[in-house]
Amino acid sequence: MSTKAVNEQSENLPAFISAISLNGGLLVVFTTVFILIRNRIPIIYAPRTYLVKEPERSPPLSKGLFTWITEPWRVEEETFVARAGEDNYAVVYYCRQLFMLFGFISLVGAVILWPLHATARLWANLLLSYIYIGGTIFMILRMCAKASELHHEWLLHDKQKTELAGYTLLIRDIPSSWQDKDKLFALFDRVQPGRVVDVILHRHTEHLNELHVDHLKARANLENAIVKYQKAVTKHKKATGAGGDDIEMAGKDPKLPNLRPKHKTGFLGLVGPEVDSISTYRDELTINERVLKEKRDETLEAEHHADSAAFVVFSDLFAPHVAAGANLQHVPGLMGDKHAGVDPEDVVWENLGMEYIERNFRILVAYLGILGLVLSWGFVTGAISALGNLDDLARQNGAFAFFHNLDDKTKGFLQGVLPSLLVAILYSVLPIALRFFSKLSGLVTYGQIEHAVVAQYYGFLVFNVLLITTITGSIFSTLHDIFEKPEKLLELLGQTVPTVSNFFVNYIILQALLGPGMEILQIVPLIVRSLKLMLLTSTPRQIKEQSSPAEFQSGVALAKHSFIATLGIVYSVIAPLVSVITLVYFAVWSTVYTYNMQYVYANVHQTGGYFLHRTAQQLFLALYVHELVIVALFLLKKSWPQAALMILAFLITLAAHHHANIYDDLMETVPADMAMEQAHEEYQKALKEAERVQAAAPVLEELNPVSPMIPLQVIAPKEEKKEAPVEEKKEAESEVVTSVPNPDTSNKTVIVDPEDSQPSPMLDVPTPRSYTPTPTHSGSSHKQPSPAPTIPAPRPYQYPEPMYEGPPDYEQKFLHPAIRSAKLKCWVPKDVYGVGDADVKPDVVADGWLEWVDYFAEMDGEGKVTVSAEGIAGFEA
């Protein structure tokens, strides 16, 4: 090893020690604090044990210092997915797989590469590079397969049958000639015959949006005023010691001070006449509701309010995906933007009716905005990364000579900790800007926005952190030599590029130690949510909003982890220490996420593992960069055979990438074979259940035909039988089981005992359809004698006619919130003195525009409002 290399390593050692000691110390402190306060603040550290719906709750942990590590790790995958959702589980799975990958890379590197690294034996580097590339490709394909499995299980899960999204297709860019409900119904009925339930046209709501926002704001003001009044009366009664029967409601009894809240109507409530707050906001709501109702009716009835988007509801989970793949228009750009499985709560309503041309113009503007971010962030990143090379700057520029006079700890902090910390802070705010530009481009769901952010954020990190830092670091570290010997520019850069790994080692240390420490302690929610709950929440609605478990942004998190994996792969041969630190990174994050996904974060909008697919394929870029860097180093050292073999590895990676793309289509639709298998299994279960009930019915009836423990509809009424003629009796005896149409429904049959004259309602099962092909006859054309009646052989695939099982109010859910006709709910607490019910409720509900709701919320004798866990978990206010 050269003297210069030894000097550089010795100069970087204080930075490395500072990064390890500072970030490791903070991780220990944060984890210790978490262990001490975890059980005391469950709203932050275990909200999923009581603030989510019962089927999604995680059981409380046992007592112990480290049960938060051991018990979540032992949870089976199926249970984990049921609690956390596919996307949140995908984050844990991704980190665990990369932990295994870098464990393998680090182990091989420690045994083989590190001992040979100083000998310049390039064949060993080439061999290990091939091994690392093969291991990475294997892991990428494994994660793509897992993402496909998660996605299909999610699309066909029983839960999807009760939710609206599974039955829905969103279509945009509908021409004006097709903006008719009947025409669209007929069109999609041609695509999926007999499967269309309804078509809901989107409507122009620009004239309603502002009024709708004001309406919700007035409702919030009214709730605040009512709660303020309840608190005032409660505290007054406590201060005076008056009993509930001794005084009347404040505001009606002139002997008591008027405690009803008042406000001024002028600028910021500081000037103008003073008015009664409750009455004013109630009147404002009444006026708004009358105007909104008129405009709602006009919007829904007038044809000119129809927009270029629509929701199509089908009767099964498979039909929307088939329709999404159909070509609906012969004109390019029309009715081509189709999305299956859209949740109405995930829709970006302001973008829904955006025209095709406008979207393309907005996409151009968004790209220009992102380009501006790339350039500005790149400049700032380059300047920050220069801090990691202050030694070189001090040698080349007298303005930085003071750096030589600093002690080792200060140098270590300035070169090791500070640059990484600044870069981390700089890029933590970037997703906000990227989401803004993605929304500006016209994307129609928040899920699509997150998909775009994943790709953009990862690309940003690769370009601005990896490439810009490498370039600026190389230039600063070799600036003097380049001026002295410009003809050796390429050789000098090739020798110094690996030295930039010191910055990335410190960067990964920061992300591996400080990042998980802040994640497990939930520093921002702990501070911000606690302050909001103390200072900014007075009504039940505000308490519910601040108390609900936070939603995890899995797309951004996976993009970050994908970038760290990229650094580990790129430097796996050049700087083996990077791989070791990357191993630590994924080990710590896997542990933290295993707990937080099951106990902290909410399972709200899911994409069924789509992010895992995207980020797994991003690792191919890491392989390409790794291979190009290794090729360049071989060429610089004039190792032609090794360079040629690395080019071959590049081509192999291209082929593997092409192979991995076969999973793309699987991530977009439901496979027909899986849908058919599931429907067949459901039919067989229904058939077996019907047979079981048929066999048990006579016994149950004999024991107790009206037992309260047995539903009446389970027991078939036994009717008195009449003796049939001999011919009919013989014919009946030749049949064991018969299927006859059910008069109650056209798409079901009932299995009947041939001795009974009436079908039994307890044996109602779906009518099967069969995929068995019709047999063809050959040979003699004369009619063959009919065989004797026999029991039909079981057919290989039978499935029931699909039936829509989602929410019945789907039409309301797919209308813009401004034109939904549901009443607004005024959610207030039930106070101990009945102030709200006796004095406020009659006035508020008099006009019938509002629904008075005091469920799950109470105000105690001190005026403190509390909302029960049931109210936070499942009540839709």
Instruction: Report residue 305 CA to chain centroid gap.
Output: 33
pLDDT value of position 743: 38
pLDDT value of position 196: 95
Residue type, 434: L
Q: List Cβ neighbours of 577 (8 Å cut-off, separation of 6 or more).
A: 501, 505
The SS3 assignment for 748 reads strand
Residue 388 confidence class, pLDDT cut points 50, 70, 90:
low
94 versus 474: which is more confidently predicted? 94
Q: How far is CA 641 from CA 342, 631, 653, in A?
A: 53, 10, 19
pLDDT of 830 higher than 70: yes
Sole residue written with tokens 């078509």: 199
Average the pLDDT over 37-56 and give the result: 92
Parallel/antiparallel/unpaired status of strands 830-831 and 857-859: parallel
Find the range with the poorest average confidence among 185-189, 238-242, 862-866: 238-242
39 vs 35: CA distance, rounded Å: 8
Sole residue written with tokens 């499995």: 149
Output the CA torsion 515→521→527→531 (10° steps).
Answer: 140
* Angle value at C-alpha 838, between 836 and 840, nearest 5 degrees: 50
CB of 437 within 8 A of CB of 455?
Answer: no
pLDDT value of position 760: 40
| Helix or strand run (H / E) with residue 694 | helix 672-703
pLDDT of 769 higher than 70: no
CB atoms < 10 A from the CB of 729, how many? 12
The SS3 assignment for 547 reads helix
Of the candidates 566, 581, 558, 611, the residue with the CA atom closest to the CA atom of residue 464: 566
246 vs 259: CA distance, rounded Å: 17
Residue type, 346: D
Domain regions of the chain by residue span: 3-38+58-160+354-670, 164-342+823-877, 671-716+736-763+796-818
Parallel/antiparallel/unpaired status of strands 338-340 and 798-800: unpaired
Q: How far is CA 807 from CA 166, 315, 447, in A?
A: 11, 12, 22
The SS3 assignment for 831 reads strand
Hey, which residues does 760 pair with through a beta bridge? none
Of the candidates 647, 680, 874, 869, the residue with the CA atom closest to the CA atom of residue 771: 680
CB of 584 within 8 A of CB of 24?
Answer: no
pLDDT value of position 5: 44
211 vs 215: CA distance, rounded Å: 6
Measured on CA atoms in the order 529, 531, 537, 540, is the torsion positive or negative?
positive
Residue 384 confidence class, pLDDT cut points 50, 70, 90:
confident
Output the CA torsion 681→685→691→694 (10° steps).
Answer: -150
End-to-end CA distance of the chain: 70
pLDDT of 605 higher than 50: yes
Structure tokens at 390: 């202050």
pLDDT value of position 698: 67
Q: List Cβ neighbours of 197 (8 Å cut-off, separation of 6 or more).
A: 167, 313, 314, 315, 804
- Whole-model pTM: value is 0.82
Average the pLDDT over 429-434 and give the result: 89
Residue 105 confidence class, pLDDT cut points 50, 70, 90:
very high
628 vs 816: CA distance, rounded Å: 51
Over the Cα atoms of the chain, what is R_g? Answer: 34
299 vs 205: CA distance, rounded Å: 8
Of the candidates 789, 744, 668, 61, the residue with the CA atom closest to the CA atom of residue 322: 668
pLDDT of 783 higher than 60: no
Hey, which residues does 196 pair with through a beta bridge? 314
607 versus 788: which is more confidently predicted? 607
Hey, which residues does 741 pair with through a beta bridge? 749
706 vs 713: CA distance, rounded Å: 10
Average the pLDDT over 569-586 and give the result: 91
pLDDT of 708 higher than 70: no
pLDDT of 546 higher than 50: yes
- At 619-667, the pLDDT tens digits run 999 999 999 888 888 888 888 898 999 999 999 999 999 999 999 988 8
110 versus 825: which is more confidently predicted? 825
Question: DSSP of 40-91, one letter per residue?
Answer: T-HHHH-GGGTSS-GGGPPPPPPSSSSHHHHHHHTS-HHHHHHHH-HHHHHH
Question: DSSP of 470-483, one letter per residue?
Answer: HHHHHHHHHHHHHH
For the chain, give the longest Cα–Cα distance: 119
Structure tokens at 860: 């105690």
pLDDT value of position 464: 85
Residue type, 576: P
pLDDT value of position 377: 84
pLDDT of 495 higher than 60: no
pLDDT of 780 higher than 80: no
Of the candidates 235, 221, 227, the residue with the CA atom closest to the CA atom of residue 275: 221
Sole residue written with tokens 């990190």: 461
Average the pLDDT over 163-178 and give the result: 93
Of the candidates 819, 826, 700, the residue with the CA atom closest to the CA atom of residue 349: 819
742 vs 766: CA distance, rounded Å: 10
419 versus 12: which is more confidently predicted? 419
Sole residue written with tokens 């019915």: 697
What does pLDDT average to over the chain?
A: 80
456 vs 441: CA distance, rounded Å: 13
Half-sphere exposure of 140 (CA within 13 A, CB side): 29
Find the range with the poorest average confidence among 52-61, 104-113, 280-289, 832-841: 104-113
256 versus 429: which is more confidently predicted? 429
With 0-12 CB in 10 A as exposed, 13-18 as middle and 19+ as buried, what is 303?
Answer: exposed
Find the range with the poorest average confidence among 196-210, 697-711, 720-734: 720-734
pLDDT value of position 16: 78
- At 298-344, the pLDDT tens digits run 888 877 677 889 999 999 999 999 999 999 999 988 999 999 999 99
